[in-house]
């Protein structure tokens, strides 16, 4: 980490603003602070001593929306915490959140107006501070970038890269392995206003370079300290991970949960759904490309079909693995077209899909859709009248079930 440059810049900013500053990472760990300040409240003193934001102070700060903010946020004083008012300056590079700079108010100041008026004058220094933090990020180090590129080349089938990766100490003689793909669907609230009436900054979602960095950093932080997670790499749409092959999925679930949290911290926008697809175990790194493809298929299936769960092995992807092998168009089914052309297709398709997925258990389908059983039977009868055939008969059922899954597969994320 470029500690000296960061600390010097924080000191210069403190002198220029004439205020006490502290710099913390996304987990509330102290990175740098200004040495001189006439008035330091209890929270600042404790923070400088412990090097970490206490839970109660963190809760107060987060309650004012700093995790999703893209502009300075005023955090009012809290006498119970022994805390003077502050302004939180989110530090971002291309929409990628790298830390927070805190500017403390003086005890006699009634508002943060003066601080907010000063900040535009130091905009260039704040941008430089964000850049230095980004450069110090482990995921952004040149060595880490080179290793991730080598790993991704191996996953894409580069023979030389496969040979190199197979000799890495963290991977060598630790097989059999499994490849995993982690995909995060965009947050459903991207167009909603935050607590200040401002849209969140989701440039990281639209900026390819920022998106890669988000997935690289989230993947790295999610797998740190996890014995079964051997390596991770990020791409613009997803992260690729290599695990030791295990029967259980405890480690995978822990990594997925941490990954989701890391994404939210860095983008300020929680993903609507995060899924992990897992390929078949393999004992030779030469099989990594095939396993990576399997994991992508499983992740895509989990993304389009929530019934499959958030962690899906490729052998559980069912018909989606078959669909991934070629082109399948639901419109090729005349039965599907006849139903789709109806205005009530939105009522009929869910009943049919659940009916086919659950072996015709009408009671369970009625419960899932919050319908009376007679309504389910009525909708099946409507389908029979529309297509002129029994939707539960073997060939008709197979055709419609495949068409419904093909329609879902057509909406899969391209990863």
Q: What is the pLDDT of residue 206?
A: 60
pLDDT score, position 330: 86
Sign of CA dihedral 371, 375, 377, 379: negative
**What's the confidence (pLDDT) of residue 138?**
63
pLDDT of amino acid 94: 67
Give CA–CA dist 87/113, Å, rounded: 10
Chain centre to alpha carbon of residue 30: 25
Which single residue is written with the structure tokens 């609230």?
A: 189
Helix ranges (H only) for 137-227 are 142-155, 159-166, 203-206, 208-223
For residue 200, the model assigns a pLDDT of 44
Residue 403 CB neighbours (<10 A): 23
How far separated are the first and last CA of the chain, in Å rounded? Answer: 32
pLDDT of residue 150: 95
Position 321 scores a pLDDT of 82
CA–CA dist 125, 142 (Å, integer) = 24
Residue 39, φ and ψ in degrees, nearest 5: -125, 115
Mean pLDDT of each 10-residue bin along the chain, 415 residues long: 81 91 89 79 87 91 89 93 93 80 89 93 91 72 84 96 92 92 74 40 60 89 89 94 95 95 84 92 95 95 92 89 79 87 90 85 84 90 92 87 89 87
**Pair of tokens at residue 8:** 């010097």
pLDDT of residue 398: 86
Q: Are strands 96-104 and 86-93 parallel, antiparallel or unpaired?
A: antiparallel
Radius of gyration of the chain (CA): 26
Residue 389, both tokens: 């055939």
Residue 110's CB is within 10 A of a number of other CB atoms, namely 9
18 phi/psi in degrees, rounded to 5? 70, 35
d(CA 12, CA 193): 35
How far, CA to CA in Å, does 265 sit from each of 233, 259, 320? 18, 10, 32
pLDDT score recorded for residue 37:
66
Other C-beta atoms within 10 Å of 226: how many? 16
For residue 196, the model assigns a pLDDT of: 36
Closest to 354 measured CA to CA, from 370, 339, 341: 370
Whole-number Cα distances in Å, 227 to 223, 231, 251, 304 = 8, 10, 8, 30
């Amino acid at each position: 980490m470029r500690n000296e440059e960061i600390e010097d810049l924080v000191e210069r900013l403190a002198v220029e603003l004439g205020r006490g500053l502290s710099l913390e990472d996304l987990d509330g760990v102290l990175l740098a602070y200004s040495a001189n300040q006439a008035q330091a409240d209890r929270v600042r003193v404790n923070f400088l001593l412990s090097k970490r934001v206490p839970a109660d102070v963190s809760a107060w700060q987060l309650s004012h929306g700093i995790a999703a903010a893209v502009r300075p946020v005023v955090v009012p004083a809290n006498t119970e915490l022994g805390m003077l008012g502050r302004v939180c300056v989110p530090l971002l590079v291309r929409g990628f959140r790298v830390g927070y700079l805190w500017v403390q108010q003086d005890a006699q100041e009634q508002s943060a107006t003066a601080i907010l008026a000063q900040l535009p004058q130091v905009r260039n220094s704040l941008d430089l501070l964000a850049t230095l933090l980004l450069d110090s990020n482990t995921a952004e180090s040149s060595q880490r970038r080179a290793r991730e590129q080598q790993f991704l080349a191996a996953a894409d089938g580069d023979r030389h890269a496969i040979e190199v990766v197979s000799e890495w100490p963290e991977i060598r003689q630790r097989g059999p392995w499994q490849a995993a793909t982690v995909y995060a669907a965009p947050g459903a609230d991207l167009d909603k206003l935050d607590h200040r009436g401002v849209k969140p900054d989701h440039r990281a979602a639209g900026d390819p370079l920022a998106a890669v960095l988000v997935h690289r950093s989230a993947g790295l932080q999610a797998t740190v300290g996890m014995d079964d997670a051997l390596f991770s790499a990020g791409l613009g749409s997803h992260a690729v991970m290599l695990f030791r092959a295990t029967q259980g999925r405890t480690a995978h679930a822990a990594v997925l949960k941490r990954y989701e949290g890391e994404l939210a911290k860095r983008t300020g926008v929680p993903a609507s759904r995060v899924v992990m697809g897992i390929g078949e175990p393999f004992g030779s790194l030469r099989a990594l490309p095939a396993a990576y493809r399997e994991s992508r298929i499983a992740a895509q299936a989990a993304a389009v079909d929530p019934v499959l769960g958030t962690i899906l092995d490729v052998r559980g992807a069912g018909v989606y693995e078959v669909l991934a092998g070629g082109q399948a168009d639901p419109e090729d089914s005349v039965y599907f077209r006849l139903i789709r052309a109806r205005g009530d297709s939105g009522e009929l398709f869910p009943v049919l899909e659940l009916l086919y997925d659950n072996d015709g258990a009408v009671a369970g389908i009625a419960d899932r859709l919050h319908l009376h059983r007679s309504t389910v039977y009525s909708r099946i009868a409507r389908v029979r009248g529309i297509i002129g055939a029994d939707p539960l008969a073997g060939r008709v059922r197979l055709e419609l079930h495949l068409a419904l899954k093909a329609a879902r597969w057509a909406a899969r994320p391209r990863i």
